Structure 1
Amino acid sequence: MRIISYIIFSLIMASTLEAQTVSDLQLNHDYFIENRGQITDQHGLVNSNVKFIYADELFNLQLKPMGFSYELFEVRREETSYESGQAMSSSYNLENVSHPEQQLRSHRIDVNFIGANPSVEIFAKNSSRTYFNYYTSEASDVTLVPGYHQILYKNIYPGIDVVFSAKGGDSVKYEWMVHPGADPSKIKLQYSGATAIVELENGGYQIITPNGRIDESKLIAFTADTHLPVEARYQFEDNLISYKMKRNNSKTIVIDPNIVWSTYYGGNLDEDINNGQLAIDGQGKSIIAGSTNSTLNIASTGAFQTNYGGGYHDAFLAKFTANGKLDWATYYGGDEKDEGHALVTDASNNIILGGLTTSHSGMSTSGSHQFAFAGQQDAFVAKFNSSGVRIWATYFGGTYQDEILDLDCDALGNIYYTGYTISPDKISTPGAYQESLNNSGGTYGDAFLGEFTPAGSLVWGSYLSGPLQDRAHGIAIGEKGELFIQGTCESTTDFASTTGVYQSIYGGGGTDAFLAKWDTNGAFIWCSYFGGPTEDHGRGVRVDAAGNAYIMGWTDSESAIATPGAVQQFWAEDYEINGDRKADGFLAKFNKNGGIVWSTYYGGHGKEQIFGLALDEQNGLLYAGGYSTSMDNISTPGSYQEIYSGNSDGFITKFNLSGDRIWGSYLNGPNIEEVHGLALYPNGYLSIFLSTEGG
């Protein structure tokens, strides 16, 4: 089974396995709530061992005298008429599905303070103005329970305190305060309930659980008064973690574990994100889109479409809070094949989803640009508000096959799209740059692009192609109204390439990548091939404020890709058993006039493909991600994961805008991982959208 693993680099905790009813879930708040008898165990008995509890949607942190517990809940729907993992037949009737019973699955990890002070003093600090009342059938009413922003364990070890903090809008965290003369090696944390604890090359460690993993990065320590860094590292002994650092007889040292979490999103069958996407809205919330044939654990209660529509695939759309918890999720599909390939948010945090469909109904709204299904396969565009309510939706396509592969929005909310079609009708508008399909005998298709208003009216549309098959995979709009299209073409002549650009002549082989510039009124400006003597594939584009375009993809051409002085100037030669050439990734920067600024291969003696690209112009950074089967040329010393796992590994790399690599890292586990999308939070944190097989 392929499961989506959605990873955000942020501060949070996570998680062994037991079932509880939905009523067991604590209320969401920004405080540690004192236990005055309202907290019970799985048998309904008062759990006096828990002194305080922090709850954030589906996450609990329980504070106990001699340790703490992470608890992560997942709402599951238990079906009786369809077994999880059973193959779905074409005759499967969704009307026969019984209403599921909702339960919470709780994965918990207990962390015990070994050798700690059994008479530790626990102080609650920074009380809230809010009080909580609990009325339960299991215990007497508990009223006027206070909440606190900070819990202090005083002298949990000799001269050492630990402080748990919870502030509105931030994740819960803990810090160790090692006072002058105290011995930090006394701190010992024993983990129970984890599948494994794995020491990482970068000095951090991973806590593997049945519900994902917790990553703790290289240990951070500093002086409390001046914040000067102090050398510190973890020590590992089976499931016991301690800290290695020198005593300081004159200053208090703060040890600040930096916790990185990851979570899975997926159902009982398969989720496909090979053409899915990731976006971050203006509130720092993450949205993902893709395709699924899972009938369980995809849509949230009250979503636009809570049931699988049928057929081969439904598109799905899922939104996560800034802390990575599921906000809402919905199917989007009819009774045939529906796939989500394109995703963007606008300035009002509305969400626009694009893709393909063969469903004859359910994909459009009354009064939309194209209400009726037109052919073998249509593209679609659907606009949702930030709460997941559909605003409008339309089919887009003609007689044959059409699909939208990427979307972007300008500051006014106008929507720009691109993709692929073999339909000779319903694609272009009168007066467009290319009004007619360049289709040789009905065999090949064309790239296309166009614009919708925020209300869903078509403004303009155009084909973009030569006589053979040409596909557009990426679109990006700049601050000055420049529109860039990037993709893959087979047309060796009569394509839109222009003089004066980097490459006006087809490079050779089966395919070249291409980059084309338009304006937002649909006027064509220039186009350049990008390719060498064999095969080159383009997969996406980003644009900066100066109008420079950054492109990504993969190539097995041994020349005409990298510029002099590039990070990797040569193709890392390698071949499949059948003699096929193994591709390397590529990254390139074009200026606003179509000239090349820099370009580089990225890959080792295996196979690489790059699918994700994120531009951090404020900090002058470019991130790229994809997958690799190479043991070399991917990671850098001291990176998050330096070592190739032996399967297909995800990877990410960080460049400056001058084309210099800053670092590279694998993202691997025991299965096959592939990075399919990257996006940046407003604070510069990187969000990574990847798939993993097997769980």
Structure 2
Amino acid sequence: MHASMLFGALLVAAVAATNLVGALAAHAGGAPTAPAAVAAAAQPDPTTAGATLEAYGKLPMSFEVYDDQIDDRAGFLARGSGYTLLVAPTEATLALAMPAGADAPKGASRSAVLTMSLVGANPPNPLRGLAELPGKVNYFVGDDPARWRTNVPTYGRVLAPGVYPGVDLVYYGNQRHLEYDFLVAPGADPDAITLAFQGADDLGVDSLGALVLRVGGGEVRFDRPLVYQDVAGLRKEIPGGYLLKGDGQAGFWLGGYDASVPLVIDPVLVYSTFLGGSGNETPPSGAREGYGIAVDGSGSAYITGPTESTNFPTTAGAFDTSYNLGGDAFVAKLNPAGSALVYSTYLGGSGADRGRGIAVDAAGNAHVTGLTFSSNFPTTAGAVQPAFGGGTTDGFAAKLDPTGSTLLYSTYLGGSGVDEGHGIAADGSGAYVTGSTTSTDFPTTVGAFDTSISGGDAFVTKLGSTGTLLYSTFLGGSGGDVGDGIAVDSAGNAYVTGIALSNDFPTLGAFDTACGSPGDAFVTKLDPVGSALLYSTCVGGSTREEGTGIAVDPTGNAYIVGFVSTAGSFPATAGAFQPAYGGGSNDAFVARVDPSQSGAASLVYFTYLGGSGGDTGLAIAVDAAGNAHVTGGTDSTNFPIPGGTIDSTYNGGIDAWVAKLNAAGSALLYSTYLGGNAGGGNVGDSGQGIAVDAAGNAYVAGRTFDGTIDFPTTAGAFDTTFNGPGGGSDGFVAKIADVAPSPTNTATATPTPAAPTATATSTVTAMPTATATAAPTSTPPPTSTPPPTATAVVTNTTTATEAPT
């Protein structure tokens, strides 16, 4: 297979208040003239509602043939949020709407026009529309029917072939994003790509490597692209950026790199699919919310959660393909492409049941925990607890074989009170389960750390590979304590997080011993036999904090995510990404703890993560480099989202969010909203489970409500149609490719400013052919000389600012 090199850039028209805002400040004079259709379409409608603009911004970009019936220019025309684009074979003209300024009449606007042309390009070749869309366009211009145009086709992409020898140019995007890629074939010269800009007064590269275009009273900045490779779990930056070529022209340079390893910048939504039936995929009444997800070595995703759908998608030969009444748990496995179910099964009895946590072992067996109201939940011969414990709910633990057809073991976990399984982890020796219990007769083992309950406690239970009870212990004090998440290290030590309501919650080596009401998060490490604490601390201040998820890295550091209510609850560490509470009802938090240390030294970092609304962190995973991948829900319009991401715009109601923090907790490597327009209220989308594969790709599971009609799915995904009832819910599963845009080193929780801004993102990917042998270099060369058999994608972040008046 021949590889190619792609250079891409992305321009984003932002929304300020209810007016469209372009990426450029207005040019005082001498700008190129826009075609009439372009100039007219660029003017904003000041009466347009913000909600309408948000919905419009999610639509796919549509390119229509523009055949000079209005003026003498020909090409393809696209209209976006705040801009209009005319694509010709060797140039592209953008007209952008701008606010007219404080002194202008209300509702007035102005536009700026920028033309990017290809210097030294080949003679023009005809443009080609690709990916034809179902919509058609009609023009009725003037009173001459001969000039009218009907049923004009529209396309999702436009190809300008052969703009330079061996170089094609492709335009695509959606209403808020315009992206263009240069495709450079093996042996072609990327140095030939030369860009000239009409409508700019000056062109330069600043000290940060950004390409700066000065336009009248403002400037446009194309941030220096940051290029990375992941090698043996470590991130290596590859030099690259803009190259000035004189006479107001620019190109690209790209440093040497290892052509056998991909280079990636910018998050990519690899797949996103609904998962559900015609009922609700939400927890039964009174149950703690959550979906679980795990990923195996081949990239297949394993998901568990709740369903009330009689037609939840199951597969032939699965353990249970019939709905069991009252609400069931489900267990599903998606193939690595997210395009098909490998297996899917119900798991439950005649009462309400739900899956909460899932893990997968090296053999591909799925380990599941959750809760059940059913007295006939399926258990297996020799189970630790074959019968319902007699209280309101019991926890359960089950193990499915790699085909999803057989329960290798299944057992209740509970007593005469209220018991729930919340989290599960697995290794070669068995499964580790945590949750909550109020049962004095919850099963414990001799020699366990704590065999007596006081009030309500968390529990930690280990089951062997065949379901035998290896240890089981309470974890808590005299108040109510809950275990939410669990992880295990290579030595078999278990790490647990949750919420401690007890002022006598057990601590050891802690940096925070002041536990108790109204609730503190906690991190506890148990030895491999469950007989002793190796470390235990609370994490909190004077208000309520809860740890909802935990992960552990190869060196034994624990990473927790959760949420905190009200400001000033816990001091962030020096250098943290977001040192202050963002406002609203909750903020998410992420913390890293080193149990080999004690006291203050054991807290490596603590950072808030949130905006001015309500933000919750619900799940966490960690990669080999110590980067934390986290997800949750938010209704903050200003949740910290760096430019150049999948979705930087709040969609309404509650949005899921996904973020990746570096190992020091000091920078976001990426962050994105993931949701649709729920129309307001306490409904919407929420990420509730996350896993990460060996390549650093994130897999997210959660729920979405009917109101979010435009929840993002991808072409070819297993299910791109919402299935639930009106006002109901579906599950979702998404995969986000490993990314690394320019880290955002500080966070702000202030309202989004009305100043005109624009951001852009890039993807850099290098993929070798079988004969590629290029090695990386440590210093940037003056020109780009990438290996001829490698593929790279370079995209850049654009920011426009208006100069003070």
TM-score interval (norm. to shorter): 0.5 to 0.7
Aligned residues: 405
- Residue pairs, 1:3-402, within 5 angstroms: 210=322, 260-273=342-355, 276-324=356-404, 325-346=406-427, 348-374=428-454, 376-402=455-481
| Aligned-pair CA distance for 1:282 | 2.3
Larger CA deviation: 534-543 vs 627-636: 627-636
Match of 1:511 among 565, 568, 586: 586
Aligned AA (2:701) = G
Contact persistence 2:343–2:403 (CA under 8 A): no
Deviations 1:300-340 (A, max 9, x none): 22211111011111110111111112111000111111111
User: Which residue of structure 1 lines up, in the alignment, with residue 522 of structure 2?
Assistant: 448
- Residue pairs, 1:485-564, within 5 angstroms: 485-521=560-596, 523-564=602-643
Deviations 1:52-90 (A, max 9, x none): xxxxxxxxxxxxxxxxxxxxxxxxxxxxxxxxxxxxxxx
Are 1:656 and 2:737 an aligned pair?
A: yes
Contact persistence 1:467–1:491 (CA under 8 A): no
Q: Whole-Å Cα distance in 2 between the matches of residues 197 and 350 of structure 1?
A: 29
Q: Whole-Å Cα distance in 1 between the matches of residues 414 and 654 of structure 2?
A: 35
Contact persistence 1:631–1:643 (CA under 8 A): no
Aligned AA (1:600) = T
Aligned AA (1:622) = A
Deviations 1:460-496 (A, max 9, x none): 2111001100000011111233221110111411404
SS of residue matched to 2:453: coil
Contact persistence 1:320–1:328 (CA under 8 A): yes
Deviations 1:616-661 (A, max 9, x none): 123x42111111122114212232212222531111111111179x
Contact persistence 2:620–2:691 (CA under 8 A): no
| Aligned-pair CA distance for 1:210 | 4.4
User: Which residue of structure 2 lines up, in the alignment, with residue 600 of structure 1?
Assistant: 672
Aligned AA (2:525) = E
SS of residue matched to 2:648: coil
| Aligned-pair CA distance for 1:383 | 1.0
Contact persistence 1:483–1:519 (CA under 8 A): yes
| Aligned-pair CA distance for 1:554 | 0.7
| Aligned-pair CA distance for 1:407 | 0.7
Contact persistence 1:485–1:517 (CA under 8 A): yes
Q: Whole-Å Cα distance in 2 between the matches of residues 217 and 571 of structure 1?
A: 28
Q: Whole-Å Cα distance in 2 between the matches of residues 650 and 451 of structure 1?
A: 32
Match of 2:542 among 451, 464, 467: 467
Contact persistence 2:621–2:691 (CA under 8 A): yes
Aligned AA (2:547) = A
RMSD: 3.0
User: Which residue of structure 1 lines up, in the alignment, with residue 704 of structure 2?
Assistant: 628
More strand as a share of residues: 1
Q: Whole-Å Cα distance in 2 between the matches of residues 648 and 278 of structure 1?
A: 21
| Aligned-pair CA distance for 1:499 | 2.5
Q: Whole-Å Cα distance in 2 between the matches of residues 214 and 370 of structure 1?
A: 32
Q: Whole-Å Cα distance in 2 between the matches of residues 334 and 261 of structure 1?
A: 32
Q: Whole-Å Cα distance in 1 between the matches of residues 694 and 332 of structure 2?
A: 28
Deviations 1:180-199 (A, max 9, x none): xxxxxxxxxxxxxxx9999x
| Aligned-pair CA distance for 1:277 | 0.2
| Aligned-pair CA distance for 1:397 | 1.0
Contact persistence 2:626–2:663 (CA under 8 A): yes
Q: Whole-Å Cα distance in 2 between the matches of residues 612 and 388 of structure 1?
A: 25
Contact persistence 1:270–1:294 (CA under 8 A): yes
Aligned AA (1:344) = A
SS of residue matched to 1:617: coil
Aligned AA (1:405) = D
User: Which residue of structure 2 lines up, in the alignment, with residue 645 of structure 1?
Assistant: 723
- 601 and 265 in structure 1: CA distance in 2 versus 1, 3 angstrom threshold: same
Contact persistence 1:214–1:260 (CA under 8 A): no
Contact persistence 2:341–2:718 (CA under 8 A): no
Relative to the length of structure 1, the TM-score reads: 0.55
Contact persistence 2:353–2:373 (CA under 8 A): yes
Aligned AA (2:675) = G
User: Which residue of structure 2 lines up, in the alignment, with residue 37 of structure 1?
Assistant: none
Q: Whole-Å Cα distance in 2 between the matches of residues 593 and 216 of structure 1?
A: 33
Contact persistence 2:321–2:345 (CA under 8 A): no
Contact persistence 2:332–2:345 (CA under 8 A): no
User: Which residue of structure 2 lines up, in the alignment, with residue 251 of structure 1?
Assistant: none
SS of residue matched to 1:420: strand
Are 1:406 and 2:485 an aligned pair?
A: yes
Long gaps (5+) in structure 2: 1-309, 325-329, 679-683, 742-805
Identity %: 33
Contact persistence 1:351–1:386 (CA under 8 A): yes
Q: Whole-Å Cα distance in 2 between the matches of residues 362 and 279 of structure 1?
A: 23
| Aligned-pair CA distance for 1:610 | 0.8
Contact persistence 2:543–2:569 (CA under 8 A): no
Match of 2:694 among 605, 610, 617: 617
SS of residue matched to 1:400: coil
- 484 and 216 in structure 1: CA distance in 2 versus 1, 3 angstrom threshold: closer
| Aligned-pair CA distance for 1:536 | 0.2
- 527 and 398 in structure 1: CA distance in 2 versus 1, 3 angstrom threshold: same
Contact persistence 1:409–1:415 (CA under 8 A): yes
Q: Whole-Å Cα distance in 1 between the matches of residues 627 and 358 of structure 2?
A: 22
Aligned AA (1:416) = Y
Aligned AA (1:480) = T
Contact persistence 1:492–1:506 (CA under 8 A): yes
Relative to the length of structure 2, the TM-score reads: 0.48
- 649 and 215 in structure 1: CA distance in 2 versus 1, 3 angstrom threshold: closer
- 534 and 278 in structure 1: CA distance in 2 versus 1, 3 angstrom threshold: same
Runs of 4+ in 1 over 3 A off after TM superposition: 195-198, 208-218, 257-261
Aligned AA (2:595) = T
User: Which residue of structure 1 lines up, in the alignment, with residue 504 of structure 2?
Assistant: 425
- 352 and 491 in structure 1: CA distance in 2 versus 1, 3 angstrom threshold: same
Deviations 1:369-389 (A, max 9, x none): 111112x20111111110000
| Aligned-pair CA distance for 1:272 | 3.0
Q: Whole-Å Cα distance in 2 between the matches of residues 196 and 333 of structure 1?
A: 30
Larger CA deviation: 475-484 vs 548-557: 475-484
Q: Whole-Å Cα distance in 1 between the matches of residues 343 and 626 of structure 2?
A: 36
Deviations 1:234-254 (A, max 9, x none): xxxxxxxxxxxxxxxxxxxxx
Deviations 1:257-312 (A, max 9, x none): 98843211101101133xx2001112211110011110113212221111101111
| Aligned-pair CA distance for 1:365 | 1.5
Q: Whole-Å Cα distance in 1 between the matches of residues 421 and 546 of structure 2?
A: 17
SS of residue matched to 2:723: coil
Aligned AA (1:327) = L
